[in-house]
Every structure is written in C-alpha cells, then in structure tokens.
Amino acid sequence: MIFGYGFLMILVQVVFGIHAYKTGRMSPWLWFIVLVPVIGCLLYFLIEMLPELARSRVIGKTQRGVEKLLNPEKNLKNYSQQLEVSNNVGNTLKLSEEMLSKGLYSNALEIIKKARKGLFEDDPVLLLNQARAEFQLALYADSKATLDYLIARNPDFKSEQGHLLYARNFEALRQDPQALHEYQALIKYAAGAEIRYRYAVLLHRMGQLEQAQKELQELLLSARNSPGHYRKRNEEWLSLSERELQAIKRS
C-alpha cells in the first residue's frame, strides 16, 4: 500500500515537473514539487494548471461559438458529404439531427424514410426523428402514428423526448383528455420545466385554473431552490411559466 502511494506520488511529481519544464515554470516550482511533493504538487495544480484548464475550456467554447456564427452550415455540409460517401444509419441520424436543428424538416423526413429499410425499418431513433419532423410539418396524425408504430415495434425503448412529443401530438389534435393523461405520466419521472409548463397550459385551456396555478407555483418555487445551471437550462420555460401564472391570476 505504502509502495503504491509512493509510486503514485513520484508519477505525479514527474508529470507536474514535465509540465513545469514545457511551460517555462521550472523556477521556483520544480523545487516545491521535488522537496515538498504533496503540498508542492497541490499548489502547482491549483495555481498553474487549474486556471489553464479553465481558460482552455472557455477558449474552446468561444472558438466553437465563433465558428458556428461564421460558418453555420459547416456541420450540415460535412454530414451531407459523409452520407454521400457512406450511406448508413449512423450518418443518416447525424444529418437528420442537424437538419431538424436547422428547421429543414422536409429534408430530414426524406432522408429518414430512405434510410428505413431492411434491418433498420423499425430503428427507434430513426422513427423518433421521423415523428419529430412530421410534428414540425404539422402532420400531427402522421407523427402520432409513427410514435405508435415505434412503441409497438420497440416496447422497451424509453425516451422522455418521444413521450413529450406523443403528448403534444394529442394536444395538437385537440384530444385533450389523452394529452392530459400523457402529461400526468410524464411529470412523474421527467425533470425538465417544459413538461410542467405545457401541462399547466393544457389545464388552463381545459378550465382547471386552480390545478394549473398550483402546478406553476410549485414549478417556480422548485426552480428558485434549484442550482443555477438548472435555472439557466430551463430559462425559457421558467419565463413562460411566470407569464402563464400571471395570465391565470387575471382570469
């Protein structure tokens, strides 16, 4: 055990020493790393390496953002070329996801239908993307039928996104009791604010104002007590929930 710890400490010293050498930080850090290895390595990591790692992540994120701004079609072109070179399901999924994110719903639907053949006719992810494209094209009955087929052929497939889409299809088809049932099933296991918001909006439309208000108040209270990253990720839905709650109170 002691030997293992000693070997690990030496390995850490070597790695940190090499890093200090390559980055021009030999003095005075090398002496700390060698003479007081535990404290020296810890201080070196906290003072020199940790900020460097943080900067690299920020720079990488910024570079990706700038690249996306300057060349928004880059991924679309790359994935299209990959599909031309190798017409397989993996490339179809990447391209269809990109098309869906760009609002190219008809194009996504076309390539998905072409890919659904043979062994992949019942592929659940292809079917889910097909239903997503159909929904965005206002083909609600088709989207619901695709999801029904997905469930029948892949009974063990679980997808929060697919379940939400199923509820939204019922809602779009004005089949409110069925939509309500699906939303109630969803909120038992799904954590996102969007589902609670959409559920409350449906309750409001169906005249169940007290229950709608309760759902929104619970959602917003929970959000206030949640970590910042949760609030940031759900910012849009929390803002809409605030507005919906005010609208209900004015009713």
Domain spans, the chain: 2-70, 158-251
CATH fold, domain 158-251, is: 1.25.40
Q: 8 with 16: CB under 8 angstroms?
A: no
pLDDT exceeds 50 at position 59: no
Q: Please tell me the distance from the alpha carbon of residue 131 to that of residue 172, in angstroms, as a whole number.
A: 14
The CA angle 207-213-219, to the nearest 5 degrees, is: 135
pLDDT in tens, 153-173: 999 999 999 999 999 999 999
Q: 144 with 111: CB under 8 angstroms?
A: no
Q: Does the reported pTM lie above 0.75?
A: no
Q: Tokens 């679309």 correspond to what residue?
A: 76
pLDDT exceeds 90 at position 61: no
Q: In Å, how far are 22, 191, 244 from 33, measured between CA atoms?
A: 15, 46, 59
Please, is 220 exposed, middle or buried when counting C-beta atoms within 10 Å of its C-beta (0-12, 13-18, 19+)? middle
- Both tokens of 170, joined, read 């019922």
